Amino acid sequence: MQVEKTQEFRPKIVAFCCNWCSYAGADLAGSSRLAYPADVKIIRVPCSCRVNPMFILRAFQRGADGVILCGCHPGDCHYTTGNYYARRRMTLLFSMLDYLGVENGRTRVEWVSAAEGVKFSTTMNEFVAKIHSLGENVRLGDLRCKKD
């Protein structure tokens, strides 16, 4: 089946999800058939605190148009405090990224529990809509590796 390639903007979006809450929330969105755009690709991490700012920088460097980090709600972290670390780290990173030209709307932290399939889906729909409104992430174009 050959479908004509559309010229429409298809954003690249990376979603880091913690194994215990948000990844399970995404699974629940799936089993409840709560649609969100296919542009979102999930990477499973044990905890939101596993996400190194380096991963996010790399995503933008390689052409991501948006990166979202999802973890357990404050107080509910499987490892007790991981999401607090993540929250603090991301606050710093996102403000630095904004300064570099990656607008705040392209980065987001959201708490999604294993029970919140609906929230997962709504969050992703919102986030993708936001990225559409911001358009392609061209500000870091000159930083990007164009090796392949």
Partner 1 sequence: MQRIGVFVCHCGTNIAATVDVARVVEAAAKEPGVVHAEDYQYMCSEAGQLKIREAIKEKNLTGIVVCSCSPRMHENTFRQAAERAGINPYMVEIANIREHCSWIHKDIEEATEKAVILARAAIAKVTLNAPLQSGTSRVVKRALVIGGGIAGIQTALDIADAGYEVDIVEKTPSIGGRMSQLDKTFPTLDCSACILTPKMVEAAAHEKITIYTYSEVEKVSGFVGDFQVDIRKKARSVDMSKCTGCGVCQEKCPSKKTPNEFNRGLNTRSAIYTPFAQAIPNVPVIDRENCIKFKTGKCGVCSKVCQAGAIDYEQKDEIVTQNYGAIVVATGFDTIKLDKFDEYSYSTSPDVITSLELERIMNAAGPTKGHLERMSDHKPPKSMVFIQCVGSRCADKRGKSYCSKICCMYTAKHAMLIRDKYPGVEVTVFYIDVRTPGKNFDEFYRRAVEEYGVNYIKGQVGKVAEKGDKLLVQGVDLIDNKRILMETDMVVLATAIEPNPDVRKIATMLTASIDTNNFLTESHAKLRPVESPTAGIFLSGVCQGPKDIPETVAQAGAAAVKVVGLLAKDHLVTNPCVAKSDELLCNGCSSCEKVCPYGAISYEEREVNDHGIRETRRVANVNSALCQGCGACTVACPSGAMDLQGFSNRQILAEVDAICK
Residue numbers of the site for partner 1 (CB under 8 A)? 1, 3, 12, 14, 20, 23-24, 26-27, 29-31, 33-36, 38, 41-47, 49-55, 58-59, 62-64, 75-76, 78-82, 85, 89, 121, 148
- Residue 92 or 100: the one with the smaller Cβ distance to partner 1 is 92
- Residue 20 or 111: the one with the smaller Cβ distance to partner 1 is 20
Pick the closest to residue 63 from 136, 148, 147 (CA basis). Answer: 136
* Tokens, residue 66: 């948006």
Pick the closest to residue 111 from 78, 81, 82, 83 (CA basis). Answer: 83
Beta carbon of residue 95, minimum distance to partner 1 (angstroms, whole number): 17
- Residue 30 or 101: the one with the smaller Cβ distance to partner 1 is 30
- Whether 100 and 9 have beta carbons less than 8 Å apart is answered as no
Beta carbon of residue 104, minimum distance to partner 1 (angstroms, whole number): 20
- Residue 32 or 95: the one with the smaller Cβ distance to partner 1 is 32
Beta carbon of residue 48, minimum distance to partner 1 (angstroms, whole number): 9
Beta carbon of residue 86, minimum distance to partner 1 (angstroms, whole number): 9
Beta carbon of residue 137, minimum distance to partner 1 (angstroms, whole number): 11
CB atoms within 10 A of CB 86: 25
* Residue 77, φ and ψ in degrees, nearest 5: -60, 135
Supply angle C-alpha 126, 127, 133, rounded to 5. Answer: 90
- CB-hemisphere CA count at 13 Å for 16? 25
- Residue 133 or 145: the one with the smaller Cβ distance to partner 1 is 145
Q: What is the dihedral of CA 137, 139, 145, 148, to 10 degrees?
A: 40
